[in-house]
Each structure stands twice: as structure tokens, then as C-alpha cells.
Amino acid sequence: MVVRHFRVMKNRIGSLIRSLFRKRKEIKIGLYGPVNSGKTTLANRICMDWLGEELGVASVVPHETREIQMKESVTIEEDGKKLTFNLVDTPGIATKIDFEDFVKAGLKKKEAKERAREATKGVIEAIKWLDKMDLVLVVLDSTKDPVNQVNITILGNLDARDIPVIIVGNKIDLKNSNLALIRNAFPKYKIVGISAKTGENIKELYKALLREL
């Protein structure tokens, strides 16, 4: 209980300090998560909703996003509140990248090797960019078991850097989506269930963002 109160206090003081410096620098909101959790689909949803254009290409082939992509000056507005930020889409974090997986997904061997090489660089870049974020949306696939080392490492690193986090349980439009698994695995975090593909519950995410920053 004491630890929890301490964490809440720490987050509030952090938010206060960040709000004092907000005018001096641009806010960066990062999309982090494992491969194929829907980060780029969510980035595109946010950009389409507020800018009328997409950020990047989303695909079912793993590691479609292999470079950091940023959309500047995204302004969201909800219930009279407004927030402008730079949206940063990052490559999916992974502990292994096997070019054979890309071959199985239909790529030629040479292309698959190139994609694997680029994907490894993308993971390193994503880790480096952690320090630059003011808030991170950790995008998890709500149809999958959330207890894995990649998710634990991402959340642990954000905690260690005192970066505010909202966990986005994506793909709630799918039958086997189970947000309770995410809630049980990471009880201390703010969790919002959405479908980046259909836009279901996306307003709740915007409200959460406005509350958090």
C-alpha cells in the first residue's frame, strides 16, 4: 500500500515537473510494444483522426516497421481539453529475428535477409529512443499472453526512466481478445482496450492521454 502511494505521488510530481517544462520543448509520445501488436495501425488511426493522413504502412508480415517514424504536431481534443505532441512509431521489440520467418511469410531469401538485417537495427534504434519519450503507449495484442520477457523489459525500462505509461490492449474487435489477462499481468498500470483497426473505444484512449499529460 505504502509503495503504491509512493508511486502515485512520484507520478504526480513527475507530471507536475513535466508540465512546467512543457512549453519549452515538444512532447513526444512513443508507441512501443512487441512485433505485430498493432503499433503502426494505431499510429495511422491517430493520424487519420486528427491530421487526415496516415503515418506508415501496417502489415501482417512481421517487422514491417523497421525505422523510427514520427509525425509532428498532432493535436487531439476531447471534452474541451487539447494536447499537441509528436507521435513516434517504433519498430517492434524482439529478442530474436530469424530471416527464415520472412521466407515463410512469402519473401525471397535475399529480401528476407535484408529485412532481418534492417529489423535488428530497428530494435536497437527503438531501445535508444526510449530516453527521448515523454509518455509511452505500450501496445499489446489482447489476444495473446501478455506475460513475456519483451513486455516485461519494455515496461521495466519505462519504469526505470520514470516515463508515464498507458498500456493499450489492442485488437479488442477479435473474438479471442482477453483484456483481463493484461490487467492481471500488469495491475499497476493504466490499461485501455481498443481496436486500432475499427476505432472501437479509441476516444477512451484520447481521454486517457489528456488526463496523463
Partner 1 sequence: MKEKNLRIKFVPYEKLKEQKFNGIIRDLKHNTIIMVDAKLNAKEEAQIIAETMRNVSEDFSGIEFGSIDLGAESGKGNLSKIKGALIERIIGRKRGVTIIGPANVVRKIKKNPKELLLHL
In the list 116, 135, 138, 208, the residue contacting partner 1 (rule: CB under 8 A) is 116
Q: Count CB neighbours of 31 within 10 A.
A: 28
Cα separation values, 126 from 66, 120, 129, 131, 187, Å: 9, 10, 5, 10, 25
Number of residues that bind partner 1 (CB under 8 A): 28
- Stretch 157-176 residues interacting with partner 1 (CB under 8 A): 157, 159-160
Q: Is position 8 an interface residue for partner 1 (rule: CB under 8 A)?
A: no
The single-letter code of the amino acid at 119 is A
Question: Site map for partner 1, 88-107, x if CB under 8 A?
Answer: -----xxxxxxxx-------
Cell of 23: 512549453
Q: Is position 124 an interface residue for partner 1 (rule: CB under 8 A)?
A: yes
Alpha carbon distance 101, 42 (integer Å): 24
What minimum distance in Å lies between the beta carbon of 127 and partner 1? 5
Nearer to partner 1, 17 or 152 (CB): 152
Is beta strand 69-78 parallel, antiparallel or unpaired with respect to 81-89?
Answer: antiparallel
Nearer to partner 1, 75 or 153 (CB): 153
